[in-house]
Amino acid sequence: MTNLAKAKSYKSDIKPIWCPGCGDFAVLSALTKAFAFLDLAKQDLAVISGIGCSSRLPAYFSSYGFHGIHGRALPIASGLKLARPELTVIASGGDGDGFSIGGNHFIHACRRNLDMTYIVMDNEVYGMTKGQASPTTQPDWASSKLTPHGTGVRPFQPAAIALASGASFIARAFSGDPNGMTKLIIAAIQHPGFSFIQVLSPCPTFRPEQKLWKHQVEAFPHEPTDDPVKAATRLYTDDGMSSGLIFQSNYPTWNKPEVAQTSVKQFEEEFVV
């Protein structure tokens, strides 16, 4: 009848502790719907995260998962994908985890273009530690006692950096458009390569003004492109509030060599003191 009727079967018995109204609920819901639509077997699915409000995500699935350490969702997910290439691997987390603590991993995961999906729930704030400026916070946001005059620092540009680093699927979604987000997640999982989705996911507690995002987010006025120059131009002329698929290309993915290049014995010899 409808695959979506079984979406909730991908959820665990653990109830999310996010604040009521948090955008991350819509991401959890969209992921379960995407998994159900693609009819993914739970044993072939792993959700990996770092630390933060949004990084609680793996606990809420009945599939395999790993709630890792701060900023290290991508190394863990990359290792898993290399060891078990047949799995569908979803890495997830927030803007602080992904772009600050894990910023360098983000760049190199894009560059390697392993076949996995990375979803960053971007609320422009460190919510779990009670509201400090994150890498994507605007320079004049002065609501934290740590930065009473704002950070004065230009925000990190996730989609542009993903593009420059070699990600082969780049999209921006909005938690206020759950159906649009579900479609993007399905396309990202189906894409053979590193798929990055920046989800604009309001924090109603520490950034209540983000409730206005629903009036600001609009669909990208362009069709997706496979031309990085066109994509870069669009990203640099965009206000960061457009949603949709931005860029998709068929860059080669990096895979584990089929034949081991070093034997265990050789490894052991190298460690002999």
The size of the chain, in residues, is: 273
Residue 179 makes contact with another protein by CB under 8 A: yes
Task: Detail the DSSP E strand segments found in 182-236.
Answer: 194-200, 218-219
Residue 202 within binding range of another protein, rule CB under 8 A: yes
Binding-site member from 17, 153, 241, 260 for another protein (CB under 8 A): 17
CA dist 218 and 35 (Å) reads 26
* Number of neighbouring beta carbons within 10 Å of residue 86: 6
The residue from 177, 196, 200, 235 that contacts another protein (CB under 8 A) is 177
- Per CB under 8 A, 52 contacts another protein: no
For residue 178, state whether it binds another protein (rule: CB under 8 A).
Answer: yes
Residue with Cβ nearer another protein (77 or 184): 184
Identify whether the C-beta of residue 114 lies closer than 8 Å to the C-beta of residue 82: yes
What is the Rg, in whole angstroms, of the alpha carbon atoms belonging to the chain? 19
d(CA 20, CA 269): 56
Separation of alpha carbons 248 and 220, rounded Å: 14
Stretch that binds another protein, among 85-93, 98-106, 201-209, 240-248 (CB under 8 A): 201-209
Among the residue ranges 92-100, 115-123, 157-165, 204-212, the one whose residues contact another protein (CB under 8 A): 204-212
Residue 204 touches another protein, criterion: CB under 8 A: yes
Q: 119, 110, 120: which is closest to 254 by C-alpha?
A: 110
User: For the window 19-48, what string marks contact with another protein as x by the rule CB under 8 A?
Assistant: xxxxx-xx--x---x---x-----------
Sheet containing strand 88-94, edge to edge, reads 64-67, 45-49, 88-94, 116-122, 194-200, 169-174, 242-248, 218-219
Interface residue with another protein, options 132, 138, 216, 253 (CB under 8 A):
132
Nearer to another protein, 22 or 76 (CB): 22
- Please enumerate in sequence order all residues whose Cβ is within 8 A of that of 225, keeping only pairs 6 or more positions apart, or say none: 231, 234, 246, 247, 248
From candidates 183, 189, 244, 249, binder to another protein by CB under 8 A: 183
Establish if 130 lies at the interface with another protein (CB under 8 A). yes
Q: Minimum distance between the CB of residue 11 and another protein, rounded to whole angstroms?
A: 9
Provide the binding-site residues for another protein, judged by CB under 8 A.
1-5, 7-8, 15-23, 25-26, 29, 33, 37, 129-132, 143-145, 175-180, 182-183, 202, 204-206, 208, 211, 214
